[in-house]
Amino acid sequence: MRGLEDSVAVITGGASGIGRASAKRLAAEGATVVVTDIDEKGGEETVAAIETDGGSADFHSLDVRDYEQFGTLLEATVDRYGGLNVVFNNAGIGEDASFSDTTPEHRDEMIDVNMKGVWNGCHAAYPLLAADGGGSIINTSSMAGWMPAPISTYAMTKAAVLHFTRSIAHELGRDGVRVNAICPGTIDTAMTQQWYSKEELSAMASRSALSRLGEPDEIASVVAFLASDDASYITGRGFKIDGGFV
């Protein structure tokens, strides 16, 4: 895809699932990828997989809830690699309890990671991207951000990410910074398998027009497109990647 060769991308939540698949895809397209996560072992494994395939990557531990840490990491990335082109705010946590069983502590944790983490990444990245002539920010929302789902607190945070993405795109566009969101459906990741039983996953797959779950690589393809110059006139949009879920 155009414009990814020799670009610099930072990915949060890159230790597994969609984050790992996206890091590998961007590296395969020629980007230098800075993989971040609180899971250091998983993050290092992502970097090792990229390097085995001939790509360029580095890992840094990052808690997206920490604004100062986020900003320091991005500034260090610019200092080391000479610029910043793509930021993929993908880190997130889920919900495996009903609304009545969700504690205020877990509510706050989801808000801090899923919402504030995205805000932190966008706010810290904006001046650096603008100084480099623009770039692409991609935020991970969810189909639960589009439609009602029995994971209400999680859905609340992902709906917020989607609307924030649409809104901030209008502010950042004047500096050439594009902001889009991906809204995955049910994707076959370790986190999904942790949330749901095999029977529940089978039922979800049956609601897809394609009658199956999505794969992380299929999400990574959209991330790479949005990061690239092939999406140069696309901003403020949320992309449903759900296999035709009904």
Mean pLDDT, residues 46-65 taken together = 98
Q: Return the pLDDT at 69.
A: 98
Q: What is the pLDDT of residues 152-189, one digit of tens each?
A: 999 999 999 999 999 999 999 999 999 999 999 888 88
DSSP string, 118-130: HHHHHHHHHHHHH
Q: Give the Cα separation of 110 and 115 in Å (integer).
A: 7
Catalytic residue flag (residue 67):
no
Q: What is the CA radius of gyration of the chain?
A: 17
Q: Return the pLDDT at 120.
A: 99
Read off the pLDDT band of 103 (50, 70, 90).
very high
CB 138 within 8 A of CB 25: no
74's enclosing H/E stretch is helix 67-81
Q: Give the Cα separation of 32 and 44 in Å (integer).
A: 15
The answer to whether residue 49 scores a pLDDT higher than 70 is: yes
Q: Return the pLDDT at 186.
A: 85
Q: Return the pLDDT at 169.
A: 99
Torsion of CA 43, 172, 168, 170, to 10 degrees: -140
Residue 38 lies in a domain: yes
Residue 193 lies in a domain: no
The answer to whether residue 97 scores a pLDDT higher than 80 is: no
Q: Give the Cα separation of 213 and 99 in Å (integer).
A: 25
Q: Return the pLDDT at 207.
A: 86
Residue 39 lies in a domain: yes
Residue 201 lies in a domain: no
- Count the domains in the chain: 1
CB 185 within 8 A of CB 207: no
Q: CA angle, corner 3, sides to 78 and 39, nearest 5?
A: 50
Q: What is the pLDDT of residues 133-147, one digit of tens each?
A: 999 999 999 998 888
Residue with the bigger pLDDT between 234 and 191: it is: 234
Residue 76, Cα to own-chain centre: how many angstroms? 20
CB 28 within 8 A of CB 1: no
Residue 208 lies in a domain: no
Q: Return the pLDDT at 192.
A: 80
Q: Is 35 helix (H, G, I), strand (E, B) or coil?
A: strand
Q: Return the pLDDT at 21.
A: 98
**Residue from 67, 81, 126, 154 carrying the catalytic annotation:** 154
Enter the tokens of residue 192.
């999904």
The answer to whether residue 151 scores a pLDDT higher than 90 is: no
Residue 197 lies in a domain: no
Mean pLDDT, residues 14-26 taken together = 98
Burial label, 140 (beta-carbon count in 10 A; 0-12, 13-18, 19+):
buried
Share of the chain above pLDDT 90, in %: 80
Residue 134 lies in a domain: yes
The answer to whether residue 196 scores a pLDDT higher than 90 is: no
DSSP state of 175: G
CB 201 within 8 A of CB 213: yes
Q: Return the pLDDT at 246.
A: 61
> Which CATH number goes with the domain that contains 101?
3.40.50.720
Q: Return the pLDDT at 148.
A: 82
Q: Return the pLDDT at 95.
A: 78
pTM, two decimals, is 0.95
Residue 59 backbone class (left: φ over 0; alpha: ψ -120 to 50; beta: rest): beta
CB 163 within 8 A of CB 119: no
Burial label, 168 (beta-carbon count in 10 A; 0-12, 13-18, 19+):
buried
Mean pLDDT, residues 28-51 taken together = 98
Range of the domain at 145: 8-188+216-232
